[in-house]
Amino acid sequence: MKLEQNRIYIKDIQFGDVTAVNNGILTVNKEEMINFLKEDPKVKDVKLDIARPGEKTRIIPVKDVIEPRVKISGGKGFSGVTQTTTQLGDGIVNILYGAAIVTVGDIVGFQEGVVDMWGEGAKYTPFSKTFNLVVDIEPAEGLEPHMHETTVRMAGLKAAEFVGEAGRDAKIDETLTYDIGNIDEETKKYPNLPKVLYVEMLISQGLLHDGYIYGVNSQLILPTLLHPNEEIDGAVISGNCVAACDKITTYQHQNNSAILDLYAEHGKTINFIGVIITPELTTLQGKFRSCDYTAKLCKTLGANGVIVSEEGYGNPDSDLLMICKRLETAGIKTVLITDECSGWDGASQPLADTTPEAVAVVSGGNVSHVVTMGPADKVIGNDKAIATLSGGWEGCLEADGSLKCELNAVIGATSEIGFHYCTAREY
């Protein structure tokens, strides 16, 4: 598959008469965009706001982050979700690089999070560095929770496509080409390089705990093989799942750092042969099946090395380690990416499960690491939501507006696809 990503560098977002990009400034016609999103009768109201890097702005409760893009050729947007189903991974896509759609709004569960654009909080979230168009979605009254979540998720994806259209004819600043042929071709090209697969685990556990591949809920799949290009072309989206710190937002799927960093080594030190998506299920038999099936795919494809990334913590630790055990036992060298739940003091066991085969593990940091983030000049959304979010507690919003909470509540802080920079070290 060959995918050309055209980047249009975005240096600011402003509201204006047209939705367009000029000289790196993205302007958005507020009214048009709101009307477009309100075409869905389940959306009662939409508010738009802008948060720029360095501004003393706090966004909460954040559900998803999405990169605005437009597909020029080779399939359509979020195939199988907002668009009819087409094959993704080939062709040309224009990207408003540096911009992001951030969805907030009435809380669905406890998994939403915080993005601070400045100061201490900004260090812990990758989305303090993007120009964020914040879409605050108020769903119609009386929606049951699953429908509420679906409505908000779809509105965010549609918003990203609406804005992404502005990139269709904009001036392109940079083009990146992602080109990996079939396994046979690549192995002929690089006969001496070890074959490497990336296993991406997705939480697949119900309301606010699902991922989607071409619109298919990951709960319903057997582990499945993707070409790396498919995911970075929008085939995988977030179901707003699990704690904010280690949920994989749609933006992080579109820019999956594990895929991109493996791509960078392809043809140099490794032969990157594909991505396996594995569901983290809620039953023990389901876990056994997914783990066996994943290991089988890796063995069948002749992998020499595998990187496995987790989503969430607790019960998925068990899936992660079972996959590791099966791969190492089969002689496949395995590196895991996870995060830790070692308590406020960092003194507790970091994982819920253990296995001696897990000898090479990358840590995204301790989800219970407590950070204090100063008062914001402007809050987009509702900062009182922190009391009920994972990582917050009653009273953690202080009288002066500063926020003391665990990294749990900070979007992308302990990313288990290795999207961010946190780690934990033993002292």
Catalytic residue annotation: 241
Q: State how far the Cα of 420 lies from the Cα of 179, in Å rounded to an integer.
A: 25
Provide the phi-psi class of 184: left if phi over 0, else alpha when psi is between -120 and 50, else beta. alpha
Other beta carbons less than 10 A from residue 387's beta carbon: 13
- 3-state secondary structure labels for all residues of 284-331: HHHHHHHHHHHHHHHHHCCCCEEEEECCCCCHHHHHHHHHHHHHHHCC
Would you give the DSSP letter of residue 171? P
Q: Which residues contact 212 (CB under 8 A, 6 or more apart)?
A: 81, 218, 236, 237, 238, 239
Task: Choose between 127 and 313: whose C-beta lies nearer to other proteins.
Answer: 313
CB of 328 to other proteins, least distance (A): 11
Cα–Cα dist 160/179, whole Å:
25
Residue 128 beta carbon to other proteins: minimum distance, rounded to whole angstroms: 13
Q: Is the dihedral of CA 340, 341, 343, 344 positive or negative?
A: positive
C-beta of 102 vs 332, nearer to other proteins: 332
Per the listing, tokens 């966004």 go with 59
Shortest spacing between CB 62 and other proteins, in angstroms: 15
Question: Residue 421 corresponds to which tokens in the numbers above?
Answer: 């920079």
Nearer to other proteins, 133 or 367 (CB): 367
Distance, CA of 190 to CA of 172 (rounded, Å): 32
* Nearer residue to other proteins within complex by CB, 227 or 287: 287
What Å distances lie between residue 54 and 61, 99, 382, CA to CA? Answer: 19, 14, 20
| Residue 370 and residue 393 in contact, taking contact as beta carbons nearer than 8 Å | no
Q: Which of residues 159 and 259 has its CB atom nearest to other proteins in the complex?
A: 259
Say which residue the tokens 């992998």 belong to: 303
Taking CA 48 as the corner, what is the angle to CA 46 and CA 52, rounded to the nearest 5 degrees?
155
In this structure, are residues 205 and 280 in contact, taking their beta carbons and an 8 Å threshold? Answer: yes
At closest approach, how far in Å is the CB of 396 from other proteins?
Answer: 10
Closest contact distance (angstroms) between CB of 89 and other proteins is 20
Q: Least Å distance between CB 424 and other proteins?
A: 4
Shortest distance, CB of residue 149 to other proteins, whole angstroms?
10
Name the residue nearer to other proteins (CB basis): 394 or 400.
394
